[in-house]
Amino acid sequence: MMLTRQDVRSLGLPLATLGTALVIAIGLYSYAGGQVSRARQQWLAQQSAWAQARAHRLASATEKENIARFLPEYRRLKQHGFIGEEKRASWMEHLREIHLRHQFSAIDYDIGIQQAYKPAGVAPEPFQLHRSVVTLRFPVLHEGRLLSLLQMLPTDDIAPFILRDCMLVRRAGEGGKTSASRIDATCSLDWLTVTEPLNRSTP
Amino acid sequence: MLRKIVLCISQKQATAGLWRMGKLMSCGEFPDHEAGHEGFRKWLHQYRSTPISVIVDTAEEDFRLETIPHVAARSRKEILDRRLNQHYRNAGFRAAQQIDRETAGRRDDRFLLMALTNPEVVSTWISIAQRLQMPLAGIYLAPVVSKRLGQLLSDALPLPQGDLLLVTRQHAGLRQSFFRGPALHFSRLSPLPDQSIPNFQQRYVVETEKTLLYLLDTQTNFSQNRMHLMFAATQDADVDAAQHVPLTQNIDRTVIKPSELARYLGLDSMLLQRHPDLMLMQVLACHGFSATNIAPGKLMRPLQLQRIGLSLNIASAACLSGAAVMAAANIASAYDMEHQSNRLAAQIRTQERLHPDTPRSLPATPWPGGMLKTVSELAQNIDSLNRTPQRMMQIVGEALDRQPEIRLDRLRWQLTDKIDGTDDASIPAPLASFDVHEIGFIEGEIANFDGNYRAALDSVNRLAEQLKNHRQVHRIEILRQPLDTSPLANLQGSTREPQTGQAPSAPFKLKIVLKAVPR
């Protein structure tokens, strides 16, 4: 059905009503949409604040727990020389004590230059890990003495180390039973220490 | 539509009725002269905007049966328009109604063409309605409405199958319509004198007899199709007259009294007797059916516009209602979210009050807890790598205990991250990772060797086999045999008796890789 201008004029009131209804509907919808948008933003902000507060509280609890758990260990490691400067004198003193107390004929030692050390998967940042190679040479009557010395090496006064290499060589031409020292033992170990960063920060 | 007006127009007058919710609310008769027209205008003015349906009860009508090929709707319309123009060129009020299809041959469609041959009958009344801008719902010829009346009465009685001649009397006169099955075949309007005139009954009977004779003359076969002669009487005089109509074979008579007719139609009996036109008007108003509308399109336009207007108003209401519902839902949602936000804010405040999180609440520490943990775990990692050659020495010692002919000269143990490490370096390279292996190199020879290399080779192989079978050994490699039997190497020696200080030797070298120890 084609509408003439007169038809449209006769439909003026319903058309005007529809137009008004549309305007009112759009207004209502926009107003309500605005209210929802504002409320949603406020709700999201509060959610974010709540999540932050919760994360902060959890982080704080974790921090407290870490401090309570690891601070004594940290202090012990520092006292024993793992953290801080190498205590080379303590090493020398400890070897001398082993030599005297356990009647080793002689223990030759060679402590190498300290170098930065970054093994894969070990990142104690911001602390710096260092390595010094310690080589010990001493004659033994039998292999068991080597193991005894190795058992005596770790003490609370020296930092942890990793025994890397041990070699036992029977002295040439001394296969007889008269010699007092028949075997030369040589051991190398990695002496590891950690230095603290210069910029100290507190939590 | 809740209200509707039905107007029955005859040659001399018009009867108008207003129905609301299917109930007759008002009724009036208006003679066809100036005063009657004015009365009609005033009556109509009370119910402006109410759609009007018009029944035209006049003799100036025409019906024709036509058959046309069964074609698509568009082509069918063109054919019907052509036929209507052919028969009713000057008639403005005309239409075609499909009756059925032929059962044989091409199975053509059968149509009933109808027209009001004298539009003057309705023009005055229609123009009054148009001036009042009353929408016209349709114009219908009385026989078409009679057809629905016949169906209603046949169903109500009920009548057995057969042809039907329906005889009714309205203001226009005696209307006799003949139906075969559902199709209207013939309709005739005869003017009758008022029932108070003495020869009324005689005229009634004569007119009915004429119709019956006509039907017999046109060879209408009643022998196979029994015919019912039904008198729908609106006056008691009609009942008496109907009883006097003589019947022939195969024709039976049914006379419906005014009170019964009123009951069947749902009308007041007195009102029906006073206004007999109400019979057809009530059928059109309350017993809806798709009657064939003969009104031209331009007259229907106000109704179409009114329907468009109504649709627009409904759309407006729906639009407003929808927007209101959505807005209410959104506002409720916003209120809910605001409530949740306030609750969260209160929870945050409570948490802050219960767990004040100031630096003073933490213990004094040189470094953050995470850094302390990192350093402590590093120290633990280093401690976990605390290995000695003890395991290697035990494994080698056990094997040598079973083979006293072998003398060990050198043993080297290494803790390395390279499983293919060699015996070359004097100082071990730094560990690239803490995933380590214990490997060892042993060198020795056959004690008191007498030059029997086969025995020496067997001894070394047995030693290697022993070590290989140890549960803690991962791999064994023989790096040097007492005798290099490879064709790629030079082989020198002597079978002479050994001189003093020049005893032959049978040195060998093995590499042992131990299985990893869990950290």
pLDDT the model gives residue B487: 76
What residue in B sits closest to A29 (Cα-Cα)? B327
What residue in B sits closest to A131 (Cα-Cα)? B430
Looking at CA atoms only, how far is residue B427 from chain A in angstroms? 7
Inter-chain CB proximity B334 and A190 less than 8 Å: no
Residues whose CB falls within 8 Å of the CB of residue B47, separated by 6 or more in sequence, listed in order: B3, B5, B18
pLDDT digits (tens, 9 = 90+) for B17-59: 999 998 999 999 999 999 999 999 999 999 988 999 999 999 9
Looking at CA atoms only, how far is residue A100 from chain B in angstroms? 23
Tell me the chain A residues in contact with residue B354 when contact means C-beta distances shorter than 8 Å.
none
Alpha carbons B429 and B426: distance in angstroms, whole number: 9
Inter-chain CB proximity A121 and B433 less than 8 Å: yes
Alpha carbons B204 and B193: distance in angstroms, whole number: 9
Inter-chain CB proximity B372 and A146 less than 8 Å: no
Inter-chain CB proximity B371 and A127 less than 8 Å: yes
Tell me the chain B residues in contact with residue A150 when contact means C-beta distances shorter than 8 Å.
388-389
Tell me the chain B residues in contact with residue A4 when contact means C-beta distances shorter than 8 Å.
none
Nearest to B385 among A82, A162, A165 (CB): A162
Inter-chain CB proximity B316 and A14 less than 8 Å: yes
pLDDT the model gives residue A203: 46
- Touching check for A30 and chain B: CB below 8 Å? no
Look up tokens 């319309």; give the residue. Answer: B77
pLDDT the model gives residue B224: 57
**CB of A50 closer than 8 Å to CB of B346:** no
Nearest to B362 among A56, A147, A203 (CB): A203
pLDDT the model gives residue B499: 60
What residue in A sits closest to B310 (Cα-Cα)? A14
Inter-chain CB proximity B348 and A166 less than 8 Å: no
CA B242 to chain centre: 59
Alpha carbons A150 and A160: distance in angstroms, whole number: 13
Show the tokens assigned to B152: 């209603």
What residue in B sits closest to A124 (Cα-Cα)? B374
Nearest to B375 among A28, A36, A194 (CB): A194
What residue in A sits closest to B429 (Cα-Cα)? A164
- Touching check for A153 and chain B: CB below 8 Å? no
Look up tokens 């519902």; give the residue. Answer: B325
pLDDT the model gives residue B356: 66
Which residues, given as ranges, of chain B have pLDDT below 70?
1, 219-225, 288-289, 356-362, 493-503, 519
pLDDT the model gives residue B399: 93
pLDDT the model gives residue A181: 44
Inter-chain CB proximity A17 and B352 less than 8 Å: no
CA B344 to chain centre: 42
Nearest to B383 among A7, A122, A160 (CB): A160
Inter-chain CB proximity A192 and B370 less than 8 Å: no
Inter-chain CB proximity B359 and A33 less than 8 Å: no
Q: What is the torsion angle, in degrees rounded to the nearest 10, for the CA atoms of residue B276, residue B279, residue B281 and residue B284?
A: -170
Alpha carbons B292 and B271: distance in angstroms, whole number: 28
Suggest the residue from A24, A62, A74 to mutate for an interface test with chain B (most B CBs closer than 10 A): A74
Pairing of strands B13-20, B23-31: antiparallel
- Give this complex's ipTM: 0.76
Inter-chain CB proximity B355 and A57 less than 8 Å: yes
- Give the full edge-to-edge strand order of the sheet including B183-190: B183-190, B173-180, B163-170, B227-232, B251-256
- Touching check for A111 and chain B: CB below 8 Å? no
pLDDT one digit per residue (tens) for chain A, 203 residues: 677 888 888 889 999 999 999 999 999 999 999 999 999 999 999 999 988 888 888 888 888 888 888 999 898 888 888 888 888 888 888 889 888 888 888 899 999 999 998 888 777 778 889 999 999 999 988 888 899 989 888 877 777 889 999 999 988 655 444 444 479 999 999 999 998 887 655 44
**CB of B519 closer than 8 Å to CB of A162:** no
What residue in A sits closest to B329 (Cα-Cα)? A32
Residue B364: CB atoms within 10 A of its CB come to 10
Model pTM score: 0.56
Inter-chain CB proximity B359 and A203 less than 8 Å: yes
Average pLDDT, chain B: 88
Q: Which is nearest to B227 in space by CA: B245, B240, B201?
A: B245
Nearest to A14 among B312, B355, B434 (CB): B312
| Distances, alpha carbon B178 to alpha carbons A23, A38, B105, B162, B167, in Å | 59, 76, 26, 11, 9
Interface of A with B in 58-77 (CB under 8 A): 60, 62-71, 73-74, 77
Tell me the chain B residues in contact with residue A122 when contact means C-beta distances shorter than 8 Å.
378, 381, 433-434
**DSSP result, B372-423:** HHHHHHHHHHHHHT---THHHHHHHHHHHHH-TTEEEEEEEEEEES-TT--S
Looking at CA atoms only, how far is residue B399 from chain A in angstroms? 16
Q: Which is nearest to A115 in space by CA: B437, B429, B372?
A: B429
Suggest the residue from B365, B395, B449 to mutate for an interface test with chain A (most A CBs closer than 10 A): B365
